[in-house]
Structure 1
Amino acid sequence: MTLTTQTGPGYDEGREITKDRRQTGLAKDGSRQRWYSSLIARVLMIALSCLFLLPLYWMIISALKGEAELAQYPPTFFPAELRRQNFVDAVNAMPFARFFVNTAAITIMSVVFSVVSSFVVAYGFGCLEWRGRDKVFYIVIATMFLPFPVTLIPMFDLYANLGWVNTWAPLVVPHLFAGAFYTFLLRQFLLQIPRDMLNAARVDGAGEWKIAWRLVFPNALPALTAVAIFAAVGAWNDFMGPLIYLQDENVQTLSIGMQSFRQTESEDIQFNQLMAASVLVILPLVILFFVFQRYFIRGISLGGFK
């Protein structure tokens, strides 16, 4: 028996065609698998998004329902009649405008003070070289683990001796001293700044303050935006601080006003008005996040430095 092998130009071309087809098929299979994986991931993200948005949706439709429809069972997922009057009644049921202005003023001052103080401290930890820098930074980070009740009584005694009780000072002045979390977030972002760029500015005769505010600050806007949003949300939603330090209605915030509104209506709570007031309270934060969403995500991811 004689074994023969096929050789020649035609045979080689056939092998190349078969190989190309096999590679094309593998490429199509890989592309199809990636498409299925992307589809599954998107479906899961949409499902989880709907799950997390369900309480917000329920609050909005409850704010637009009448009392009779709100009490019926089973509940409806869309109001039969949109009662926009609930928002007007909720605003008139308490000094909403005064509480809103007070909360906005405290929030703006807290954001400005937090951003400036945290940036200055983070610049010292991230862009300057000095002895014992890392050890001091670890001590600052350790303050994050102090529970709020531990410092509550000493801080209240301090503010009472200073005569700051029933004023905005206990809610605003602490933001002049950089928070540990904000400092950590900004420092991690500032560590990405090329040292050569800072050294070149120093060689050109620029001082540290000029480098910090004219060179580093503009490039750190994503992280600063993240800090500003965190500070705004914390100040806007703060309940314990105003509850402890603010006693006069003229200086109280929306969080205390909402609690007072609920206690006033405790005998016959009108949940539609309560939900309408809640929608008005969270609306500024939702707008703030969507306006600065891109910078916030870049700041949290600690990337995007150019």
Structure 2
Amino acid sequence: MENYAKWFGQLNFVTYFVNSMIVAVITVLGSVVFCFMVGYALAKMDFAGKRIPFGAVVITLMVPSVLTCVPLFVIVSDMGLPNTYWALILPFLTQPIGVFLVRQFMMGIPDALLEAARVDGAGELRIFWSMVLLRCELPFATLSILTFLSSWNNFLWLLVAMQTNDRYTLPVALSLYSTGQNATNYGVLLAGAVWSLRRFCCSL
């Protein structure tokens, strides 16, 4: 019980949990909005150079995320965003895997259905919100779960972008405060892991 008390006394578990929830929830909401918009444009709209952005999405899927940490940190630093929530949220609002997933699903929506709506005078936004999204329950749930788990478990980028402990999320806090000078304090580590898992399940 001393290990649990340490998290709520000395280590301020609530702050890290709130940070994790803020980052994860906003990232999910933004990712759902932007990935669905980009996926719809790539799947159902015709414009010049349409294959170029889709090719960029596919190529980006093959690039390990570790390789993008340094250039991404340079961009975030130039924008003046280090040690802010935006540094943890903006880079992950439109993930390539999310755009690819939504685009592939929307390719299965009949074009005749959308053309009928256009003939009736519906605009693209009306078609997108009233017809397309209503048929996308599966990619919506899949993308939300994948994005939430990815954001909740993100470690390397959060460790790089955050500079003060009041902005740390749970994965970073667990790794930093459970390691002593010579060895890992497994009691503190496992107590934090158990409590973070419990709060994570309750939030779902």
TM-based fold match above 0.5: yes
Say which SS state the counterpart of residue 171 (structure 1) adopts: helix
* Aligned pairs (5 A) from 1:108-187: 108-176=25-93, 178-187=94-103
Q: Which residue of 2 aligns with 1:218?
A: 134
Cα shift at 1:99: 0.5
* Aligned pairs (5 A) from 1:20-59: none
Cα shift at 1:98: 0.4
Give 1:249's aligned amino acid.
N
Which sections of structure 2, spanning at least 5 residues, go unmatched?
none
Give 1:204's aligned amino acid.
D
Larger of the two Rg values belongs to structure? 1
Cα shift at 1:261: 1.5
The answer on 1:272 being equivalent to 2:193 is no
> 1:37-86 deviations in whole A, cap 9, x for unaligned?
xxxxxxxxxxxxxxxxxxxxxxxxxxxxxxxxxxxxxxxxxxxxxxx665
Cα shift at 1:205: 0.7
Could you state the TM-score of these two structures normalised by the residue count of structure 2?
0.89
Give 1:144's aligned amino acid.
L
Give 1:187's aligned amino acid.
R
* Aligned pairs (5 A) from 1:59-74: none
Which one has more relative contact order, counting CA pairs under 8 Å at least 6 apart? 2
The answer as to whether partners of 2:178 and 2:186 remain within 8 angstroms in 1 is no
Cα shift at 1:284: 4.8
Count of matched residue pairs: 204
User: CA–CA distance in 1 between the matches of 2:76 and 2:110?
Assistant: 43
Cα shift at 1:139: 2.3
The answer as to whether partners of 2:170 and 2:196 remain within 8 angstroms in 1 is yes
User: CA–CA distance in 2 between the matches of 1:150 and 1:270?
Assistant: 31
Say which SS state the counterpart of residue 178 (structure 2) adopts: helix
Could you state the TM-score of these two structures normalised by the residue count of structure 1?
0.61
User: CA–CA distance in 2 between the matches of 1:149 and 1:272?
Assistant: 30
Say which SS state the counterpart of residue 130 (structure 2) adopts: helix
User: CA–CA distance in 1 between the matches of 2:193 and 2:101?
Assistant: 30
Q: CA RMSD in A?
A: 2.2
User: CA–CA distance in 2 between the matches of 1:253 and 1:278?
Assistant: 12
User: CA–CA distance in 2 between the matches of 1:287 and 1:198?
Assistant: 40
The answer on 1:282 being equivalent to 2:193 is no
The answer on 1:200 being equivalent to 2:116 is yes
